[in-house]
Amino acid sequence: MQKIRTYLGIEIKYPKTAFFELSSCEGCQLQILNKEATLLNFLDLVEIVNFREVMSNRSNDYEIAFVEGSVTRADEVTQLLEIRQQAKTLVALGSCACFGGVNQLKNRFQNLEWVKKEVYGNHPIETQEVRPLSDFVTVDFSIYGCPVKKEEVEEIVTNLVLGKSIEHPRYPVCMECTANGNICLFNLGEPCLGPVTRAGCDAWCPNNRMGCWGCRGPADDANLRQLQKIMDDHNIPRQAMFDRLECFGGFTSAMKEMDR
């Protein structure tokens, strides 16, 4: 029996919600569970009916589906299509679901059989080119990051439940990094994708003296050629920049016209 609650006098239902994982480390789902101080408040927003990480009972009667992971097998395509058919709202959870994530690094070799041989030797497994969810189904909302930021997930879920609009920051991580008073890592001779990566993580990595790896994908109007000039001016090897741009898959299309 669902609880009854109101917002500004209007009755609001607890949407039935399910969490699923395709090819992933499941770190984004764990991130949601890790912050115990706000966990109960989060669980009070929805009625979770399927979440393998935390419950044994499962139901396929859900309205909102959060899907973590990228598509790497034919059976995952089938599973994703079934989830999309059931869910009124499908949310891509994390970099793997949004862009292919770290998994898509194998695509850069452009030789799947060689990759399978190198990794699995004489024990081949079924695998295919890594692709994001949006290559197969309509994704209603995306939550970026590797892993996702729990506070952002909570805000998005709240807005979903209340029917409010959801908007991601349009500016780059550099703005959050500067606001936090960090020393620019370029001045320390370290590569960083902060100038071109979508904000929303509160400059998680630069706050800890690690350059941004672009896990949230490109910010609006990201200028990769200008990033290349900045790194050249600071004598940072171009390969260091390309390694980061290719890491999570968010910049794949934007890199096609760049000079190697």
Q: Which one is predicted more confidently, 80 or 53? A: 80
Both 59 and 30 in one domain: the answer is yes
Which range, of 2-16, 63-77, 175-189, averages the lowest pLDDT? 2-16
Say if pTM beats, i.e. exceeds, 0.95.
Answer: no
The answer on 201 and 96 residing in a single domain is no
Mean pLDDT for 6-10 is: 56
Question: Between these two residues, 109 and 134, which has the higher pLDDT value?
Answer: 134
Residues 45 and 127 in one domain: yes
Say if strands 16-21 and 64-68 run parallel, antiparallel, or are unpaired: parallel
9 and 110 belong to one structural domain:
yes
The residue among 108, 138, 162 that closes a domain is 162
- Please tell me whether residues 151 and 112 are part of one structural domain: yes
Task: Encode the chain in three state secondary structure.
Answer: CCCCEEECCEEECCCEEEEEECECCCHHHHHHHHCHHHHHHHHCCCEEEEECCCCCCCCCCCCEEEEECEECCHHHHHHHHHHHHHCCEEEEECHHHHHCCHHHHHHHHCCHHHHHHHHHCCCCCCCCCCECHHHCCCCCEEECECCECHHHHHHHHHHHHHCCCCCCCCCEHHHHHHHCCCCCHHHHCCCCCCCCEECCCCCHHHHCCCCCCCCCCECCCCCHHHHHHHHHHCCCCHHHHHHHHCCCCCCCHHHCCCCC
- Residue where a domain stops, chosen among 141, 162, 183: 162
- Residue labelled with tokens 């959050």: 176
The total number of structural domains in the chain stands at 2
The CATH number of residue 30's host domain is 3.40.50.700
Same domain for 122 and 30? Answer: yes
Q: Say whether both 34 and 149 belong to one domain.
A: yes
Within-domain flag for 118: yes
Residue 258 pLDDT more than 90?
no
- Same-domain check for residues 43 and 135: yes
Q: 146 and 40, same structural domain? A: yes
Question: Would residue 213 count as lying in a domain?
Answer: yes
Q: Which residues contact 154 (CB under 8 A, 6 or more apart)?
A: 38, 41, 42, 45
Is 244 inside any structural domain?
yes
Please give the order of strands across the beta sheet that includes 141-143.
Answer: 47-51, 16-21, 64-68, 89-93, 141-143
pLDDT bracket for residue 11 (50, 70, 90): low
Give residue-wise pLDDT tens across range 123-181.
Answer: 878 899 999 999 999 999 999 999 999 888 888 888 888 888 888 999 999 999 999 99
Cβ burial, residue 39 (10 Å; 0-12/13-18/19+): middle
Note whether 223 and 193 are within 8 A (CB).
no
Query: Which structural domain, as residue segments, surrounds residue 236?
Result: 173-255
| Structural domain contains residue 167 | no
Assigned domain for 90 exists: yes
Q: Are residues 122 and 218 in the same domain?
A: no
- The answer to whether residue 235 is domain-embedded is yes
Q: Same structural domain for residues 64 and 137?
A: yes
Q: Name the domain boundary from 132, 162, 192.
A: 162
Task: Single out the residue of 92, 196, 191 nearest to residue 134, CA to CA.
Answer: 92
Domain contains 106: yes
The per-residue b/e assignment along 120-156, b for 16 or more CB within 10 angstroms, e otherwise, is eeeeeeebeebbbbeeebebbbbbbbbbbbbebbbeb
pLDDT at 7: 53
Question: Could you tell me if 151 and 218 lie in one domain?
Answer: no
- Residue 260 domain-assigned (yes or no): no
Q: Would the pLDDT of 188 be above 90?
A: yes
